[in-house]
Chain A
């Protein structure tokens, strides 16, 4: 006992934890302070342990979390403790704050205590948010299919000006846009940004609806279903078509600038980076008129040749430019068709599948 009161460090422990004079009438509500302390200690112990096995990289994060769950001894316990204690941490802090509000613990002479408490709460919120993001690689594992980043903004801020919603756009969205730009769609300057405009004959309605749904689900275009439009073509024929255009985004400008040179659509040099199976599927559905030919009327010979090279390099599909009057189309060699079909089959709407066959 004497030691407790004489030792320079133990005297602190004594005055805080043992002999500290406490009011005789405090209830169980006053338990939350020590419970919160225990939560913090638990979180630090489990957190440091998790950090020994976690890999902070987009490609490895999900795998390392799964590794913790499956391979690390009692890793599942450590991770579940960390995740669930976080919930209790906040439950307790709300009750702790509620206690202070109810019993007036924030009032003088405890204002400093209260203010430090609010700072602690703020740091807790930030820490919790940062921690929640850490296993985010898990979606990346599934081939970069994490949902788009842009939809969130119109979702929260429905009245934010479209052009002010900033990107970035994920690879799926970029795939669909690049794929369609290789086909019939256009990127057009509009206000302070660029929008993607897309038109299809009524026969391709299923494909167009897929395209529209893909964009509208992600907040990239209106949620109103496209309407059937009529125009008069040459020789007085009536043509039925649908038109979809995306919202205008300033974060689309770069897409416009690589696809258009002096107002003419070209194939950008970096197309290989965005030539995913999804992009290929969109392009194929857009441009494949019948059989093995891909309509690429608006591109020059060099562009078409470049596309053939990309097809060969990325997917080992043999294709050659084919002259059609003064324009060029791409002819896909029949032995490459099974490869192509295998790549795009997951992304192609049924009616297009028939057309392909």
Chain B
């Protein structure tokens, strides 16, 4: 785990000019040590409360327009009060969640973790490879897909930040994929690609996996930068052609 801390914080050293200084600033020394552990602990305690505040902001922003719905159209015509309709509907999910969570906590508590964490390290033996928790593996795979350290870090951070651009990149006039067959196909392609990236992140960077990881990372970014805008335009055009001259064409203006 100390490895992981070193590896991930070391990534910041890829930043030109101030990289090394920044890493030492974060470490609070020349290596991951007591100071690092203390500040990580302090921040790990603080950030959930920052999250809480962000969640409240998220809810306020949600309250402005209310939830979206599977049709992707305005739901002002037919609304129901949250309680009791969705409080009880959500309870179903809560029960399923607590049931599955209990199975993990009581019967498989370490399944999602790393067995290495319980093995005393042997100085004469190869240490196990460095793997983050399963849920960060896709981003780890993107990081490793690019041989250059700096570009790899940029790609990893960019893969999250690119989500910010989604409102700008989506050119379609239709909101929900329920009415967008091409986009739906692509969306599931993206999901499968994401799962493959998760798997690649858990593998040693050896020949077949490196190439697969690079292909999947390329698809990850092209989904946002290429396919989403392009498919939107294609679908718009097709719907224009289909409704050309009909009464419905006024919808598409």
Say which residue of B43, B69, B80, B121 sits within 8 Å of A142 (CB atoms). B121
Q: Does B181 contact A (CB under 8 A)?
A: no
5 contacts across the A-B interface (CB closer than 8 A): A57-B34, A84-B105, A106-B170, A121-B163, A139-B120
Interface residue SS majority, chain B: helix
B127 nearest in chain A by CB position: A147
**Chain B binder among A166-174, A193-201, A256-264:** A166-174
Say yes or no: A128-B3 contact (C-beta < 8 A), given A25-B70, A149-B32, A214-B124.
no
* The 7 residue pairs across chains A and B that have the minimum distance between CB atoms: A147-B127, A23-B75, A168-B31, A90-B135, A31-B93, A104-B175, A136-B1
Judge if B189 is at the interface, Cβ distance under 8 Å: no
Q: Give the segment of A154-162, A289-297, A306-314 that binds chain B.
A: A154-162
The secondary-structure label for the interface of chain A is helix
Which residues of chain B have C-beta atoms less than 8 A from A233's C-beta?
none
Question: Is the Cβ of A146 less than 8 Å from the Cβ of B134?
Answer: no
Q: Does B176 contact A (CB under 8 A)?
A: yes
Which residues in B have their C-beta under 8 angstroms from that of A38? 94, 97
Question: Is A83 in contact with B113, judged by CB distance below 8 angstroms?
Answer: yes
List, in ascending order, chain B residues with CB within 8 A of A125's CB: 136, 139, 160
> In the bound complex, do residue B93 and residue A137 qualify as a contact, i.e. CB atoms below 8 Å apart?
no
Do B149 and A157 touch (CB < 8 A)?
yes
* Beta-carbon contacts under 8 Å, A63-119 to B: 76-77, 80-81, 83-88, 90-91, 94, 97-98, 100-119
- Stretch from B5-13, B214-222, B239-247 contacting the other chain: B5-13
Contact A123 B54 (CB under 8 A): yes
* Inter-chain contact A35/B163, CB cutoff 8 Å: no
A binding-site residues for B, Cβ under 8 Å: 15-32, 34-35, 37-38, 40, 43-44, 47, 51, 54, 56-58, 61, 76-77, 80-81, 83-88, 90-91, 94, 97-98, 100-140, 142, 145-149, 151-153, 155-160, 166-168, 172, 210, 214, 217-218, 278, 347
Known interface pairs A87-B133, A128-B135, A158-B205. Does A123 touch B68 (Cβ–Cβ under 8 Å)? no
CA separation between A16 and B55, bound complex, in Å? Answer: 13
Interface size band for B: 35 or more
CB distance from A291 to the nearest CB of B (A): 26
Contact B51 A106 (CB under 8 A): no
Whole-angstrom distance between the Cβ of A16 and the nearest chain B Cβ: 6
In B130-149, the 8 Å CB interface with A consists of 130, 132-136, 139, 143-144, 147-149
Distance in angstroms from B83 CB to nearest chain A CB is 4
Report A138 CB to chain B, min CB distance, Å: 6
Contacts of A134 in B (CB 8 A): 37, 40-41, 44
A18 and B135 contact, Cβ closer than 8 Å, known pairs A31-B89, A109-B65, A130-B40: no
The verdict on B237 contacting chain A, using a C-beta distance below 8 Å, is: no
- Given the known interface contacts A24-B80, A34-B93, the answer about A58 and B109 at a Cβ–Cβ threshold of 8 Å is no
Rounded to whole angstroms, the CA-CA distance of A150 and B13 in the bound complex is 13
